[in-house]
Every structure is written in C-alpha cells, then in structure tokens.
Structure 1
Amino acid sequence: MDGALKALLLAALILLVSAQTSDNYRSLNGLVRKHVDKALKKANQDFGTGYHIAFHSLITTPMTRESILNVNVLLKVTTCKKTSNDAYEHRDECNEQKEKTPVIDCLVCKTNDGNELVDCAKKIDVSNQKHTEIRGKCIDHLTGGSDILTRLSEDNKKQSRCLECV
C-alpha cells in the first residue's frame, strides 16, 4: 500500500508540474492569453483551412508592459475540424498535430509607431529570415538596463547586446 501511495503522489506531482509549463494554454496568465488569442485568430484566418489551430508553446518570455508588447508563440494545425470559419478559441480536446502541416510562428508586438502588429508565418520561413522586414517594425525589447546593453560600434551603427542573457 505504501508503494502505491508513493506512486500516486509522484504521478500527481508530475501532472501538476506539467500543467505549469509554457506549453499549457490554460496555465498562461490572462494578459498573455489575450495576446495568444490574437495570434490564434490570425493564424486560423491565414492557415486554418478547415482545421483548428491550437496553442503549442511560447517561444520567448512574453513582454506585456504598456510601452512594450512582445508575445512570440508557436501554434500547430490540429486534426480537429473547425467548428466554424471564424472559430479560433482554445479547445482542450484538440492537441494532436495534423500530419504534414507546418508549425506556425506568430508574433504579437507593439511597433515603433505605437500600433500593434500580429504576424504569423511558417516557422521555417521565420527561421529563414523571410519575415525580418515585417517583424523589424516591432519595438526592440531587452531584459536589463539598456545603458549596458546598447553600444556604439566602430561603424556607428547601434548594436544591441544582452550581456547576461541565458
């Protein structure tokens, strides 16, 4: 009996820890979830031909300050059929990625002119720098003090450096 109780407690602990990771939609705080929903809506419009698109994980730590907004998220096309053309809400039962479909990289950010940008593309295209011009409109966000992180190079171009990023 003692061994069974330990196994049950261990299973419960593993379940609890897995529910707290950044790949669980329900564990996201409300503000981050609001921006993830914008990405889901955009991706369902652009990529969700007949199939539901679901949250996969956060790519980076979200920045949701009033002056800086940067939420970068991975989404996946699931095996679930869409319930309607404009449906994008999270569905717990839709977790399995449809075969031969790309992972979708979406960025929700505040641009240099103060507007909000929602850009979704295939992860491979983002990795191959095909959305650099669009995403370059986003306000740069760096963790830490910008006085240490920004330096002037010899050719007088600003370069951002994160000295203690992990």
Structure 2
Amino acid sequence: MEMSGLMSVLLVTSAALLFIANGQSNYDMLREVDKKHVDMAIRYANKNSEFQKNKKEHLNFFQLLGQPEINGREFNINLLLKATECTKASSDSEHKHHPECHFKSRRPYINCVVCSKDFHDSTDPYIDCVLQKDVKKQDDIRHNKCSPLQHGGYSILALRDKEDLQTGCLGCF
C-alpha cells in the first residue's frame, strides 16, 4: 500500500514537470515566421508588465492558442505567456524566449495577440497582452485591430449607372 502511494506521487510529479516543460519544447517546434511574432509578444509583455504581480519575473512563451493565421499580407497569432523563475532582462534585446527558464506555478497566464493587416509592415504590428481572465474585456478592440480587411469587391454603394456620369466637375468620373 505504501509503495503504490509513493508511485502515485512520483507519477503525478512527473506529469506536472512534463506539463511545465511543455512550453519550452513547443517554442522549438514553431515555424520561423511564428517565432518572430512570438518574440515580439515576449518583448512587448516584458517591457509593459503592468499586469504582473512580480514585475521582475521574465515572461516566456507557453503555448499557441489555435493556429496562426497568415493570409497574403495579413497575419494574426494568439498565444499564452507565463512567468518564469528567471529574472527579467534589463535590455530590450534580451527580452526573448529563454528555454532554460522554468515556469512558476500559480502564476496567471498572459494572453497576447500579435496581428497586422499588412504582412510586409510586420515591423509595427498591433500587439496586446492582458491577463487571460481579462481577455473578454479586450475582445472588441482586438477584433477591430486584427479582423481581416475587406479587399475590394462589389457593393451596392460602389455601383454606378452610365447615366450618372458627369463631366466638367472636380471629382467626377
């Protein structure tokens, strides 16, 4: 009986350690384009960490939420960060994913979104990070900033009749 209790504790501890280390291996499996945007979120969250209890803890990539969307010139990536045992770096260039840092337990997840409506202008995307429990409050803002653009097409307002064409005035076609 005593041996099976010890085995149960060992099994639970092993599973917990595997779960904690999971985010570290997930980062290595990301595509380079996704790593670029994840690193942007890590930099942003570590510089703007007003939502953290202990502002000296480094935030690291934990996992992606859903699949990153890259369509033509647009991208949208949603991810979770979590506080680690590592101390936050002092310079911007050091705010990146550190695989050697272990996640702290009992710390809230930080939900980040990185998106741009112009993939080629991904140097200045929209980045937003909030506590996971506060995501609902940001839904409207995130939707407005990250929803795909309407790319042309016909609408009833864009249609013109040939008889409506005028000549001789500014702005007329």
Q: Specify every segment of 5 or more residues in structure 2 that has no aligned partner in the other structure, as ranges.
A: 1-17, 150-173
Identity %: 34
* TM-score (norm. length: structure 1): 0.62
The Cα of 1:85 is off from its aligned counterpart by 4.7
Corresponding residue for 2:46? 44
More strand by share: 1
Corresponding residue for 1:60? 66
1:120 aligned onto 2:114:
no
Aligned length: 120
Deviations 1:81-100 (A, max 9, x none): 12325331111111222x44
Deviations 1:86-136 (A, max 9, x none): 331111111222x44320000011249x8721111000000xx11023202
Residue of structure 2 aligned with 1:130, choices 134, 137, 143: 137
Answer with 1 or 2: which has the greater Rg: 2
More helix by share: 2
4+ long deviations beyond 4 Å: none
Residue of structure 1 aligned with 2:116, choices 110, 117, 130: 110
Q: Which amino acid in 1 is paired with 2:33? A: L
Say whether the 8 Å CA contact 2:46–2:88 is kept in structure 1.
Answer: no
Say whether the 8 Å CA contact 1:31–1:64 is kept in structure 2.
Answer: no
With over 3 angstroms needed to count, the CA separation of the structure-2 counterparts of 1:73 and 1:54, relative to structure 1, is same
Q: Distance in 2 between matches of 1:75 and 1:94?
A: 12
The Cα of 1:53 is off from its aligned counterpart by 0.7
